[in-house]
């Protein structure tokens, strides 16, 4: 029963409507008939959450596979950036960052949270605005903000840099830009990806236009999608339709947010503040033009220049951990021997179990314990998503 007095509930009920989902699933099965194995990749932790939470993989035919790519900001932040942030904190500089970034471990398996226990100066903020406020209120202390994330969070940093940062606040930018990563993944032969569900919120900033050069090069379907279960099902339907017609296109499912041009103001701020240079994505590769590094004219705000820090590039994962394959979308969490044994949400070992948008964490929180998530085993039945599945 929809509460008509609550417009948000009314909208959500539309995008979670089981009757509509049932029709879409039937269409997807029709379109998938006789197709070879199709691998669709999304590059967004929020899409992974939607797909896992609502049990969408369990609704798809066997020949349609949806893989989670490197869409978790914590997962792709280089271990060396964590290392230098830890060193700064232990040297007495106040390092501010997001909660899940503070729990990611560097190459010596030490996180900012760990180093705080050893006297490191670490603070958790919800946004860059908090960091600006804290630094402004404490002018006699030095602060560094470790900025991780994509073009969704970077514009706020760019905006405040353009406005003028407090002189005691520097930025250690580990920000990454998604379109080149999609281009890189599309060209990665070991992944054999046939089509992409592109991230709705990052594309709201960059616009569909930013993906055009990569689409032109790879010629693989790209559908920009929102984050409700109907959004994802429609995106899969659109991709299969393109594959059946053999006419790959860039299509927009998320018309309520994504446009061709994107957010021009945010893009302008990013272009003014950052150089887009080759950058390492942890577990993946160095991806051309994907790292947002502060331009030379903002040297006074750049922690790398002020403290003489290297660009992020180092990598480390513990023995037996298969985090790199998870981040790249090659395997699923139950394929890792540490998943839900040594590595759990309360005892995370690798970044995909630390990051709120990490695939391992999302699967663990939805209690997916088995490789075959299509079966209706005990593990599947306790998955929240199957409540939705069973209503179909």
Task: Enumerate binding residues for ligand SF4 (CB under 6 A).
Answer: 321-323, 326, 333, 336, 338-339, 343, 349-350, 352-353, 360
Instruction: Record the tokens describing residue 48, joined without a space.
Output: 């992974």
* CB 336 to ligand SF4: min, Å: 3
Please identify, using beta-carbon distances, which residue of 330 and 392 lies nearer to ligand SF4.
330
Distance CA 100, CA 295 (A): 27
* CB 220 to ligand SF4: min, Å: 26
* DSSP-derived secondary structure letter, 141: S
User: β-strands 94-97, 122-124: how paired?
Assistant: parallel
Please identify, using beta-carbon distances, which residue of 25 and 343 lies nearer to ligand SF4.
343
Please identify, using beta-carbon distances, which residue of 234 and 323 lies nearer to ligand SF4.
323
* CB 331 to ligand SF4: min, Å: 8
Distance CA 107, CA 286 (A): 17
> What are the angstrom distances between the C-alpha of 252 and each of 180, 196, 272?
19, 12, 28
Please identify, using beta-carbon distances, which residue of 291 and 343 lies nearer to ligand SF4.
343
Gyration radius (Cα) of the chain, Å:
21
Please identify, using beta-carbon distances, which residue of 240 and 349 lies nearer to ligand SF4.
349
* CB 96 to ligand SF4: min, Å: 25
* CB 100 to ligand SF4: min, Å: 13
* CB 340 to ligand SF4: min, Å: 7
Q: Exposed, middle or buried, 139 (CB in 10 Å: 0-12/13-18/19+)?
A: exposed
Nearest residue by C-beta to ligand SF4? 350
Please identify, using beta-carbon distances, which residue of 78 and 179 lies nearer to ligand SF4.
78
Per-residue burial over 210-226, b = 16 or more CB atoms within 10 Å of its CB, e = otherwise: bbeebbeebebbbbbbb
């Amino acid at each position: 029963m929809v509460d008509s007095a609550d417009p948000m509930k009314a909208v959500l009920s539309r995008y979670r409507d089981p009757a509509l989902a049932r029709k879409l699933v039937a269409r997807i099965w029709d379109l998938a008939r006789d197709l070879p194995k199709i691998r669709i990749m999304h590059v967004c932790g929020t899409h992974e959450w939607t797909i896992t939470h609502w049990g969408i993989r369990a609704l798809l035919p066997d020949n349609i596979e949806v893989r989670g790519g490197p869409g978790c900001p914590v997962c792709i932040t280089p271990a060396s950036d964590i290392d230098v942030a830890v060193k700064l904190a232990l040297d007495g500089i106040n390092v501010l960052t997001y909660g899940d970034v503070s729990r990611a471990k560097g190459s010596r398996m030490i996180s900012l949270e760990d180093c705080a226990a050893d006297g490191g100066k670490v603070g958790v903020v919800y946004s860059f605005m908090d960091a600006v406020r804290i630094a402004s209120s404490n002018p006699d202390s030095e602060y560094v903000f470790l900025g991780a994330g994509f073009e969704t969070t970077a514009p706020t940093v760019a905006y405040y840099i353009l406005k003028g940062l407090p002189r005691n606040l520097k930025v250690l930018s580990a920000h990454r830009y998604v379109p080149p990563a999609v281009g890189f993944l599309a060209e990665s032969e070991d992944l054999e990806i046939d089509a992409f569900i592109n991230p709705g919120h990052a594309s709201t900033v960059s616009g569909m236009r930013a993906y055009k050069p990569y689409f032109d090069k790879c010629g693989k379907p790209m559908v920009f999608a929102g984050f409700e279960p109907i959004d994802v099902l429609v995106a899969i339907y659109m991709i299969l339709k393109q594959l059946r017609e053999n006419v790959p296109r860039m299509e927009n499912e998320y018309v309520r947010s994504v446009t061709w041009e994107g957010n021009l103001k945010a893009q302008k701020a990013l272009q003014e503040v950052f150089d887009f240079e080759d950058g390492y994505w942890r577990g993946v590769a160095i991806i051309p033009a994907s790292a947002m590094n502060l331009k030379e004219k903002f040297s006074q705000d750049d922690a790398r220049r002020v403290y003489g820090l290297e660009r992020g590039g180092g990598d480390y994962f513990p023995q037996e951990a298969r985090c790199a394959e998870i981040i790249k979308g090659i395997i699923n969490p139950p394929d890792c021997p540490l998943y839900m044994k040594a590595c759990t949400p309360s005892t995370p070992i690798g970044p995909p179990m630390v990051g709120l948008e990490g695939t391992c964490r999302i699967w663990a929180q939805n209690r997916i314990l088995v490789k075959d998530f299509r079966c209706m085993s005990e593990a599947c039945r306790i998955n929240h998503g199957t409540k939705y599945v069973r209503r179909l």
